[in-house]
């Protein structure tokens, strides 16, 4: 198929925004360690602190509660720990409650032993079983330690948004702490730690149009903190050692600023996503859109085509010049059944195809997607499926 490539895989990684690129380039041509007290060091420190403010603003937090990491996975591994401090005192979390449809960075349980991790299920729409979580927390043995709850705010595969206000209230009533993986939600829906969107959020720059390899965790308060994962110097107020990735952090800050501004334009992304979904349903009337009955991110469609394996369709789209994903892209090339669909109780072996849009996605891109989709479903009988009027 002719024409430039079309990128519809923003949930895997978003294209680097020009503002992030510029911010990074200006850091790369300067020298300075933010811990140095000379002029160069102070200039680097200013860049880090100004990025910290941009990130805090994106999630409704104070900038002093932002801790930079090498990405969301490190942020989750830091927070998902049994041993914390509260001021000068020690706090112990005896059990971790995660969601079965979480990204592996929280699902794996961080520094908790396997027998201290409990998985809470989701319903057929991918919404966490809030009643099940409440029931589990109701029998949590507080004598052993506090409960720590970690789950995604928005799912990376389905885009399903979790009812965090309800979950927050339940966790608070149980005396626990709530960590939200806000990686996919940030910049797509408003996040407000000050308004009770959990106790901590974790973020990743490359999902927002910043660079990969930089992220953060952000607290609603600063008194209760996990024992550091990366120990060494006193960087990040002692919460994460190592010289800051100034270029990455500057790019993250610029991307966070753009993401906050971009929230006002998300309705346009939503209407394109809705148009893509309408096109999908008209070309493939038997397509199943996962999570369609509940609240989803404005940029994501996750669907199955009966008779065509998602991986086969993904390759066909790729050959047609369109990048989409068969599930998530987090395990470098690994193709396997989606644990998210499994958690939702989806029995079909076809898997899910994820299309995720960004602000740059145009109507012409959706027309090209439709054309490629028509070609793919026309070959459905040869792929082992049943032909439909395409």
Q: Which residues are catalytic?
A: 330
Q: Which of 235, 232, 236 is nearest to 66 (CA)?
A: 236
Q: Which of 6, 8, 23 is nearest to 258 (CA)?
A: 23
End-to-end CA distance of the chain: 18
Residues forming contacts to ligand PLP in the complex (CB under 6 A) are 71-73, 103, 105, 152, 156, 181, 183-184, 204, 215, 330
Question: Contacts by 81-84 with C-beta closer than 8 Å and gap 24+?
Answer: 81/110, 81/111, 81/112, 81/226, 81/227, 81/229, 82/111, 82/112, 82/116, 82/145, 83/226, 83/227, 84/224, 84/225, 84/226, 84/227
- 83-86 and 353-356 as β-strands: parallel, antiparallel, unpaired? unpaired
Residue 175 half-sphere exposure, CB side, CA atoms within 13 Å?
Answer: 14
Length of the chain: 390
Bridge partner residues of 154 (DSSP): 161
Say if CB 12 and CB 332 are below 8 A apart.
no
Distance CA 248, CA 256 (A): 12
How many other CB atoms sit within 10 Å of the CB of residue 374? 13
């Amino acid at each position: 198929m002719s024409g430039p490539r079309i990128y519809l895989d923003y949930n895997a990684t978003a294209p680097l925004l020009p503002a992030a690129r510029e911010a990074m380039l200006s850091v790369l041509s300067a020298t300075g360690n933010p811990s140095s007290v000379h002029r160069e060091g102070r200039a680097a420190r200013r860049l880090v602190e100004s990025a910290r403010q941009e990130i805090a603003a994106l999630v409704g937090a104070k900038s002093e509660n932002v801790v930079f990491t090498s990405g969301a996975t490190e942020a989750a591994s830091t927070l998902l720990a049994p041993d914390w401090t509260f001021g000068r005192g020690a706090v112990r979390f005896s059990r971790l409650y995660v969601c079965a449809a979480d990204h592996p960075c929280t699902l794996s349980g961080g520094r908790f032993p396997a027998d201290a991790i409990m998985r809470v299920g989701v319903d057929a729409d991918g919404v966490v079983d809030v009643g099940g979580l409440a029931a589990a927390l109701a029998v949590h043995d507080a004598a052993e330690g506090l409960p720590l709850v970690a789950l995604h705010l928005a799912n990376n595969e389905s885009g399903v948004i979790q009812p965090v206000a309800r979950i927050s209230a339940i966790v608070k009533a149980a005396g626990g702490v709530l960590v939200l993986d806000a990686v996919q939600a940030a910049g797509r829906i408003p996040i407000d730690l000050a308004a009770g969107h959990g106790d901590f959020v974790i973020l990743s720059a490359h999902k927002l149009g910043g660079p990969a390899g930089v992220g953060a965790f952000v607290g609603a308060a600063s008194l209760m903190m996990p024992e550091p994962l990366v120990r060494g110097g006193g960087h990040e107020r002692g919460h994460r050692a190592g010289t800051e990735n100034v270029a990455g952090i500057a790019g993250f800050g610029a991307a966070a600023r753009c993401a906050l501004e971009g929230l006002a334009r998300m309705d346009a992304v939503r209407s394109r996503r809705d148009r893509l979904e309408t096109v999908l349903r008209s070309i493939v009337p038997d397509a199943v859109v996962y999570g369609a009955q509940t609240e989803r991110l404005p940029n994501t469609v996750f669907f199955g085509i009966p008779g065509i394996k998602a991986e086969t369709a993904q390759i066909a789209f790729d050959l047609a010049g369109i990048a989409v994903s068969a599930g998530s892209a987090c395990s470098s090339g690994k193709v396997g059944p989606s644990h998210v669909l499994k958690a939702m109780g989806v029995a079909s072996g076809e898997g899910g195809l994820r299309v995720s849009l960004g602000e740059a996605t145009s109507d012409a891109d959706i027309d090209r997607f439709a054309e490629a989709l028509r070609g793919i479903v026309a070959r459905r009988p040869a792929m082992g499926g049943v032909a439909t009027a395409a």
